[in-house]
Amino acid sequence: MSQHAAIPLLTPLLPDREALAPYLAKLDQNRHYSNFGPLNNALEARLAGMFEEHGAYPLHVTTTSSATLGLELALSSLDLPAGSKVIVPALTFVASLTAIIRAGYIPVIADIDAQSWLLTPEIATEAAIQTGARAVLAVAAFGQPQDTRHWSDFQRKSGIHVVIDAAGAFGSQWVEAPDIPVVYSMHATKSLAAGEGGLVVSGNSVINAHIRQLSNFGINLDSNAGFPVGHLSFVGSNAKLSEYHAAVAHASLDQWDAQARLRQDIYRAYRQALEDACGDLLQWQAGITLAAPTIFCLRMAAEARDRLETICRQRQIATRRWYQPLLHQHAAKVAPIIKQPTPVAEAVASGLIGLPFSPFLTGEDIARVTKAASLATASLTLTHQA
Ligand SMILES: Cc1ncc(COP(=O)(O)O)c(C=O)c1O
């Protein structure tokens, strides 16, 4: 039996009550608790400023009650005929899939790139030729950003709409093309944590206004729409961010720089320790250094992965096979889907493992996980040599 405390997979870092106090005081003053209140509106403006520092266009931010609702409403706002096909990568969280289905479309499950583990415009082009898809939901999987300019070229040349699911990529994914809506999560486990919440960011004010209206049941909010304000103009949902969640998001933003630095420092030391111990027996997702990592995911031979899971279980170290089963393995049970060949996603998934990661991870935790990984991969090398 292990003498050590358990190492959890994730430990959320949210602002404490002291950091929340000034925003809760505003709530008491305002007596406005939802429905696009002052804290929500200030949050949208604050975030738009942050995004604009990383882009060449004015950007609009619309909050939602979760990224899942943000995705569903962004897809609904495309106003495609019911049953239109929407391409999505096989390796992503189930919310990417459910958002497509709930918007009334049919998911086309496509493969990923072998290095970045992302759906690319090249893969989407092929899937669209095969299936006649009308839209793509590209995913910034594991927080690794998508290239919005590249997707904007794809959208312009193909006429196929693109939405980006960047639920786990706040701080690393920017919106450099004004015509590509990007959706982020503020769930407790994300880098900008509000408990629950989502953001849709785009350079197109019409798209953002449409999503805002969809988040408010579909009730017309625009006195210039040629339609009475307060009347239902299409079918939306209730996906508004409450003022309480906006308060937490403000306090999280106040701590953003320090928190992102801490996450980066821990990630760098952790990865270095694993690379020193296991060398090229480990594979990493190709891409940029993330601004604020929230999960720790890598790949190894399937046999080593299975062994590492067993060793970790014995040592009370939590692990997770992120985004598995693959999307089509879930989807086959819940709704009609179209499946493209996904050999790369299957190969990547066969050795993928998520190890514990949080801003609270200690050097001792890293040493324990590294020891487990070196045992799992060393015994694999010996087995192969035997
Ligand atoms: C890729 C992806 N999409 C969507 C979501 C859903 O985000 P939310 O919990 O804010 O609805 C997640 C959550 O982890 C995710 O990883």
Interatomic CA distance for residues 340 and 109, integer angstroms: 6
Q: Residue 197 CA: which ligand 1 atom is closest?
A: 10
- Tell me the CA–centroid distance for residue 280 and ligand 1, in Å: 31
Stronger pLDDT, 34 or 333, i.e. the higher one: 34
The residue whose CA is least distant from atom 1 of ligand 1 is 93
What pLDDT is attached to residue 386? 38
Fold of the domain built from segment(s) 17-254: Aspartate Aminotransferase; domain 2 (3.40.640)
pLDDT tens-digit profile of 286-328?
999 999 999 999 999 999 999 999 999 999 999 999 999 999 9
User: Taking 90 as the threshold, does the pLDDT of residue 209 lie above it?
Assistant: yes
| pTM, to two decimals | 0.97
70 lines ligand 1 (CB under 6 A): no
User: Taking 80 as the threshold, does the pLDDT of residue 12 lie above it?
Assistant: yes
- Tell me the CA–centroid distance for residue 98 and ligand 1, in Å: 11
Q: Considering only CA atoms, which of 66, 307, 53, 100 is closest in space to residue 183?
A: 66
What pLDDT is attached to residue 330? 85
The residue whose CA is least distant from atom 7 of ligand 1 is 67
Share of the chain above pLDDT 90, in %: 93
Q: Considering only CA atoms, which of 191, 161, 187 is closest in space to residue 68?
A: 187
Which residue out of 64, 72, 75, 93 has the highest number of ligand 1 atoms within 8 Å of its CB and is therefore the one to mutate? 93
What pLDDT is attached to residue 381? 58
What pLDDT is attached to residue 157? 98
Kindly give the interhelix angle for 256-278 and 243-254, rounded to the nearest 10 degrees: 70
93 lines ligand 1 (CB under 6 A): yes
Domains 17-254 and 256-385 share a fold: no
170's CB contacts (< 8 A; 6+ apart) are: 184, 185, 186, 190, 191, 192, 199, 292
Q: Residue 166 CA: which ligand 1 atom is closest?
A: 1
pLDDT tens-digit profile of 259-285?
999 999 999 999 999 999 999 999 999
Q: How many CB atoms sit inside 10 A of residue 4's CB? A: 12
Domain ranges of the chain: 17-254, 256-385
pLDDT tens-digit profile of 96-117?
999 999 999 999 999 999 999 9
Residue 386: CA count within 13 A, CB half-sphere: 6
63 lines ligand 1 (CB under 6 A): no
375's CB contacts (< 8 A; 6+ apart) are: 307, 311
CATH of region 256-385: 3.90.1150.10
Q: Is the Cα torsion angle 163, 164, 170, 175 positive or negative in sign?
A: negative
Q: How many CB atoms sit inside 10 A of residue 375's CB? A: 16
Which residue out of 185, 192, 245, 326 has the highest number of ligand 1 atoms within 8 Å of its CB and is therefore the one to mutate? 185
